[in-house]
């Protein structure tokens, strides 16, 4: 019960990583407010929680919605934890084809929303005077190419630097700011980005899981609970001396080139061995 008596905010809490994290924090004692545009799933989660999870319809593309969510939690007794998690795949075009409008929309969804989550939570946390923890969802796409489209990757890289800047700005108030970088996690973010829905979504997610299990050293697909566990750690007193950094939760995907962990992957030296024989 690391979060007994604590109140937490989770954006994008109606599904995927956000839902898993809301349930994890509630299970460990927190009272949780989830903000999401998915009213049916968000309200259903709240209704099944015996009053421990609350749903506030929140579109993180609307700054006023973010401010209202933070104010609602503050009015209930104060904010202890914020998980800025809401997002989607964003625009898929490469840099030589993307429109300015799609670029801005992706940055606003994935980067500005995090900045404004911090912006509107931090003054309330400061005024309360009890410190707190802010965790932001970045991605391994912030660390390397090839993991996601350009606009998404750049936004997530911005989230990482925003995290370090905010950690510096808020350290004097005992507010810690960190990020989590998920790898290949089986949520609906991939199928939604490709417009796959209905019965095809389940089949596609199954295929994604199979591909993920072969894409990294740890041969299983990542699950939302894997990220929730990392967020819970960063939000807890166990991480009371941790700020301005990020945790990569990716099954080892970013360890290095495939041949660094897959003995069957070809290397330059294995290719040249034929000439040495």
What confidence score (pLDDT) does residue 196 get? 59
Name residues of the chain where pLDDT drops below 70.
187-199, 201-202, 204-206, 268-277
3-state SS, one letter per residue, for the chain: CCCCCCEEEEECCCCHHHHHHHHHHHHCCCEEEEEECCHHHHHHHHHCCCCCEEEEECCCCCHHHHHHHHHHHHHCCCCCEEEECCCCCCCCCCCCCCCHHHHHHHHHHHHHHHHHHHHHHHHHHHHHCCCEEEEEECCHHHCCCCCCCHHHHHHHHHHHHHHHHHHHHHHHHCEEEEEEEECCECCCHHHHHCCCCCHHHHHHHHHHHHHHHCCCCCCCCECHHHHHHHHHHHHCHHHCCCCCCEEEECCCCCCCCHHHCCCCCCCHHHHHHHHHC
pLDDT digits (tens, 9 = 90+) for 62-102: 999 999 999 999 999 999 999 999 999 999 999 999 999 99
Domain ranges of the chain: 7-276
Give pLDDT tens digits for 20-62. 999 999 999 999 999 999 999 999 999 999 999 999 999 999 9
pLDDT, position 193: 59
> Which pLDDT belongs to residue 276?
60
Query: Of the listed 3, 120, 152, 184, which one is catalytic?
Result: 152
Active site residue 152: yes
- According to CATH, the superfamily of the domain at 7-276 is NAD(P)-binding Rossmann-like Domain (3.40.50.720)
């Amino acid at each position: 019960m690391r979060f007994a008596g604590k109140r937490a905010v989770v954006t994008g809490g109606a599904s995927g990583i956000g839902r898993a994290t809301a349930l994890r924090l509630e299970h460990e004692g927190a009272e949780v407010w989830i903000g999401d545009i998915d009213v049916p799933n968000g309200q259903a989660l709240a209704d099944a929680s015996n009053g421990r999870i609350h749903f506030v319809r929140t579109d993180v593309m609307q700054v006023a919605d973010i401010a209202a969510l933070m104010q609602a939690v503050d009015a209930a007794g104060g904010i202890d934890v914020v998980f800025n998690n809401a997002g989607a795949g964003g625009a898929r075009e490469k840099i030589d084809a993307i429109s300015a409008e799609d670029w801005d929309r992706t940055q606003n969804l994935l980067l500005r929303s995090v900045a404004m989550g911090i912006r509107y939570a931090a003054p309330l946390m400061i005024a309360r005077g009890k410190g707190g923890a802010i965790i932001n969802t970045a991605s391994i796409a912030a660390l390397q190419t090839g993991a996601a489209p350009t606009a998404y990757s750049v936004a997530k890289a911005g989230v990482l630097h925003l995290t370090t800047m905010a950690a510096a700005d808020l350290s004097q108030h005992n507010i810690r700011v960190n990020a989590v970088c998920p790898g290949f996690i089986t949520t609906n973010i991939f199928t939604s980005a490709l417009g796959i829905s209905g019965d095809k979504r389940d089949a596609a997610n199954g295929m994604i899981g199979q591909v993920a299990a072969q894409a990294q050293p740890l041969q299983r697909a990542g699950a939302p609970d894997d990220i929730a566990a990392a967020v819970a750690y960063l939000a807890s007193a166990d991480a009371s001396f941790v700020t301005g950094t990020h945790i990569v939760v990716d099954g080892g995907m970013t360890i290095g080139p495939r041949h660094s962990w897959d003995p069957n992957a070809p290397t330059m030296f294995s290719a040249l061995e034929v000439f040495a024989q």
